[in-house]
């Protein structure tokens, strides 16, 4: 396996592969995944965009992660801010890296790829905090939840419902940098 850092154009060149991994990892239907194409492409233009990818020896995408600097006016940022008390919103969101996606193909999970992608993505991040959202179900027993807990993520907002999605989500966060704390 090779871990590579992707520039925006690298992710865009592999957007079909990215969406396939996303669909497999999240067990989402094709119509929902197709609707995400525009959002993913738009995210590559956000300030502070960073992406990583795990590739096998044949250049097959095994996993990926990306995020950017969270900011006022961005949809996710505004949704999370609306669910937090003002002091918590200031602490978590004023200087935040928004971890948008972190996925590994189901057949490639269990080999430390998620951890490797997470640490590579956050290594060198200059923001004070990192936030992410993940479905509540299945929660604590899932590989994703175990990874986030093992790397020091704490509850910021639980059982939160984003507009347009029936599922409850947890918003998890931690202070940065990672070094010395994992």
How far apart CA 52 and CA 41 sit, in angstroms, is: 15
**Contact predicate 105/63, CB 8 Å:** yes
**Contact predicate 54/63, CB 8 Å:** yes
- Give yes or no: 68 in active site: no
Q: How far is CA 176 from CA 16, 36, 96, 157, in A?
A: 31, 28, 9, 18
How far apart CA 40 and CA 66 sit, in angstroms, is: 10
- Note the helical H segments in the chain: 8-13, 15-26, 30-43, 75-83, 86-93, 113-122, 143-150
Say which residue the tokens 């027993």 belong to. Answer: 141
How far apart CA 69 and CA 48 sit, in angstroms, is: 5
Among the listed residues 22, 66, 68, 148, the single catalytic one is 148
Q: Which residues are catalytic?
A: 148
């Amino acid at each position: 396996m090779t871990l590579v850092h992707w520039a925006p154009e690298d992710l865009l060149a592999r957007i079909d592969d990215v969406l396939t991994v996303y669909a497999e990892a999240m067990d989402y239907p094709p119509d929902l995944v197709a609707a995400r194409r525009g959002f993913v492409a738009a995210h590559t233009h956000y300030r502070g965009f960073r992406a990583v990818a795990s590739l096998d020896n044949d250049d097959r995408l095994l996993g990926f992660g990306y995020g950017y600097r969270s900011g006022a006016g961005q949809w996710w940022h505004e949704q999370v801010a609306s669910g937090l008390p003002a002091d918590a919103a200031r602490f978590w969101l004023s200087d935040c890296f928004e971890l948008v996606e972190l996925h590994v193909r189901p057949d490639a999970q269990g080999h430390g790829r998620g951890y490797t992608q997470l640490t590579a993505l956050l290594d060198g991040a200059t923001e004070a905090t990192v936030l992410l959202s993940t479905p509540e179900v299945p929660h604590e027993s899932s590989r994703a939840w175990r990874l986030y807990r093992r790397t020091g993520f704490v509850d910021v907002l639980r059982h939160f419902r984003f507009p347009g999605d029936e599922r409850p989500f947890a918003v998890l966060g931690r202070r940065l940098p990672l070094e010395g704390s994992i």
